[in-house]
Amino acid sequence: MKSLLTFVLSLVLGLNLSAQELSISARVDTNAILIGEQLTLSLKGNVSQGENFVWPLFPDSLDGFEVISRGKLDTVEKGNTFQLNQEFIITSFDSGYFVIPPLTFTQMGSKAQTEVIGIAVHFPELNEDDQYYDIKGIMEPGLDWEKIILIVAVSILFLGGILFFIVRLNRKKNAEVIAPKYRLKPYAQAYEDLEKLDQKQLWQKGEVKNYYSSLTDILGHYLENQLGISALEKTSDEIIESLQSLRIKKDFFLEISSMLKTSSFAKFAKAKPSAFDNEQALKIVREFIDITKPQAETKKEEQDD
């Protein structure tokens, strides 16, 4: 019997302790606001640890009030209990006296409620001296200048690209067709180059090396362009060997071979050929061109003469 009484007393004390641990309170930072002003509603509750609970669900709108924002539910551990905190920002757009009804907090069958809170919502005070205006009509939204500037800039770039393309296309169409530079035939070019070389009078000015270098270059270009003999990168001996394949008289072959060797001495051994040798060298190259140029061209020139 004594054991049963002890159990009953423990159960009753435990239930009372649990009931004491479950609590909730609500408060506002003001009980009077003007229409459209905001106030803060703070909820605080205590609940025992280890048990499920149901926190009050505050609706988006109450009679006369609207919820602007909901704060996060914070939990602070204190001994065997949790302290819960949450804030709401609310407002009202109607004048009058409104109440925030009791909010219920439950845990394992136990309940706790907040007290009713009354809020007075007033119109702003009016001054007889103030000037009043009628309600304005619907106003069109203002211009978005950033968007307008962006559109104008993109349009300018787009039109500029089109204009650039049109101008460039017209330039191509209207561009004058430049006729290719008239090219002389290899033998005619060689004659012209020999004439220019003779007029420069290089060897007469002491520029013997330069004279023979120009002379052999003229001969080399003629051999490659007219006769198909690679000569520009060859030595005098190699050119002489290549000339053996041509059908020219032996005496003249010896003359041009001698001229090429004299040219090598003048260019690389700093030899100084006589004035006769210098004059004769240009004549030999000119005669070589006369002998080796196409016969059809020779006949045509004779007919023109």
Residue 291: inside a domain, yes or no? yes
Residue 138: inside a domain, yes or no? no
**Same domain for 276 and 190?**
yes
Residue 1: inside a domain, yes or no? no
The amino acid that residue 247 corresponds to is R
Residue 133 is predicted with a pLDDT of 60
- What is the rounded average pLDDT of the residues 51-64? 81
For 73-86, what is each residue's pLDDT tens digit? 888 888 888 888 99
Distance in angstroms (rounded) separating the CA atoms of residues 83 and 22: 10
Number of domains in the chain: 3
- Least Cα distance to 188 among 104, 43, 298, 45 occurs for 298
Cα distances (Å, whole numbers) of residue 111 to 18, 28, 50, 53: 11, 22, 17, 10
For 149-182, what is each residue's pLDDT tens digit? 989 999 998 998 898 888 888 776 665 544 445 5
| Structure-block tokens of residue 131 | 């000037």
Residue 1 confidence (pLDDT) above 50 = no
Residue 132: inside a domain, yes or no? no
Maximum average pLDDT range among 16-20, 215-219, 229-233, 267-271: 215-219
For 95-132, what is each residue's pLDDT tens digit? 889 888 998 888 888 888 889 898 999 988 766 666 66
Residue 133: inside a domain, yes or no? no
Residue 131: inside a domain, yes or no? no
Residue 76 is predicted with a pLDDT of 87
Residue 129: inside a domain, yes or no? no
CATH of the domain at 96: 2.60.40.10
Which residue range forms the structural domain that includes residue 54? 8-122
What are 80-83's contacts with CB under 8 Å, separation 24+? 80/21, 80/48, 80/49, 81/21, 81/46, 81/47, 81/48, 81/49, 82/46, 82/47, 82/48, 82/49, 83/44, 83/45, 83/46
Residue 109 is predicted with a pLDDT of 81
In the chain, % of residues over pLDDT 70: 82
Residue 248: inside a domain, yes or no? yes
**Same domain for 223 and 270?**
yes
The amino acid that residue 118 corresponds to is G
